[in-house]
Chain A
Amino acid sequence: MTPKTASLRDWLSTDRPMSRRQAFMGRVYHGCRDFSRNRLAMLGLLTVLALILVAIFADLLAPYSAYTGDLRTTRLLPPSWAHWFGTDDQGRDILSRIIIGSRITLMVVILVAVLAAPLGLIVGTVAGYAGGWVDAVLMRITDIFLAFPRLILALAFVAALGPGIQNAVIAIAITSWPPYARMARAETLTIRQTDYIAAVRLLGASPWRIVLSHIMPLCVSSVIVRVTLDMAGIILTAAGLGFLGLGAQPPMPEWGAMIANGRLYVLDQWWVAAAPGAAIFVVSLAFNLLGDGLRDALDPKAAK
Chain B
Amino acid sequence: MLPLLSRRVLCATAAAAMLACSAGAALAATPKDTLVLAFGFDDIITMDPAEAFELSAGEIMGNTYDRLLRLDINDPSKLVGDVAKSWTVSADGKTYTFELKPGLKFASGNPLTAEEVAYSLQRAVMLDKSPAFILTQFGFSKANVKDKIKATSPTTVTLETDKAYAPTFVFNCLTANVAGIVDMKLVQSKEVNGDWGYAWLKTNYAGSGPLKLREWRANEIVALERNDNYYGAKPKLARVIYRHVKESATQRLLLEKGDIDIARNLSPQDIAALSANKDVKLTSTPKGTVYYISLNQKNANLAKPEVREALKYLVDYDAIGDTLIKNIGVINQNFLPQGLLGASKDKPYKLDVAKAKALLAKAGLPNGFKVTIDMRTIQPVQGITEAFQQTAKQAGIDVEIIPGDGKQTLTKYRARTHDMYIGQWGADYWDPHSNADTFTRNPDNADDAKAKPLAWRNAWAIPELTKQSDAAVLERDAGKRKKMYEDLQAEFRKTSPFIMLYQQTEVAAFRSNVDGLKLGPTFDTNYMFNASKR
Contact = CB atoms under 8 A, between A and B. Distances in A.
B322 interface: yes
A264 B316 CA distance: 22
Q: Which of A90, A242, A251, A264 has the most CB of B within 10 A?
A: A264
B269 A243 contact: no
A284 interface: no
Interface string B245-270: 00011001000000000000001011
A192 B386 CA distance: 56
A150 B44 CA distance: 25
A83 interface: no
B240 to A, nearest CB: 27
Given A72-B323, A250-B385, A90 B405 contact: no
B51 to A, nearest CB: 27
A89 interface: yes
B323 A75 contact: yes
Given A90-B390, A249-B402, A264 B379 contact: yes
B386 A90 contact: yes
A251 B393 CA distance: 12
Contacts of A265: 269
Contact of A90 (B252, B322, B383): B383
Given A245-B403, A250-B382, A71 B323 contact: yes
A44 B154 CA distance: 85
A250 B408 contact: no
Nearest to A249: B401
Interface residues of A, number: 26
Contact of A155 (B267, B273, B322, B408): B408
Contact of A244 (B316, B379, B389, B405): B405
B320 interface: yes
A264 B267 contact: yes
Interface residues of B, number: 30
Interface string B370-399: 000001010100110111011000000000
B319 interface: yes
Contacts of B191: none
Contacts of B382: 250, 261
Contacts of A104: none
A163 interface: yes
Given A90-B383, A251-B386, A245 B270 contact: no
Interface in B211-269: 248-249, 252, 267, 269
12 contacts: A71-B319, A90-B383, A90-B387, A158-B408, A244-B404, A244-B405, A249-B400, A249-B402, A261-B382, A265-B269, A267-B270, A269-B269
- Interface pairs A-B: 9 shortest CB-CB: A71-B319, A243-B377, A245-B404, A250-B401, A245-B403, A71-B323, A72-B319, A250-B386, A90-B386
Given A244-B408, A250-B386, A267-B273, 15 more contacts: A67-B390, A71-B319, A75-B323, A90-B387, A158-B408, A163-B403, A243-B405, A244-B377, A245-B377, A245-B408, A247-B403, A251-B401, A264-B248, A267-B249, A269-B269
Interface of A: 67-69, 71-72, 75, 89-90, 155, 158, 163, 242-245, 247, 249-251, 261, 264-269
Interface of B: 248-249, 252, 267, 269-270, 273, 316, 319-320, 322-324, 375, 377, 379, 382-383, 385-387, 389-390, 400-405, 408
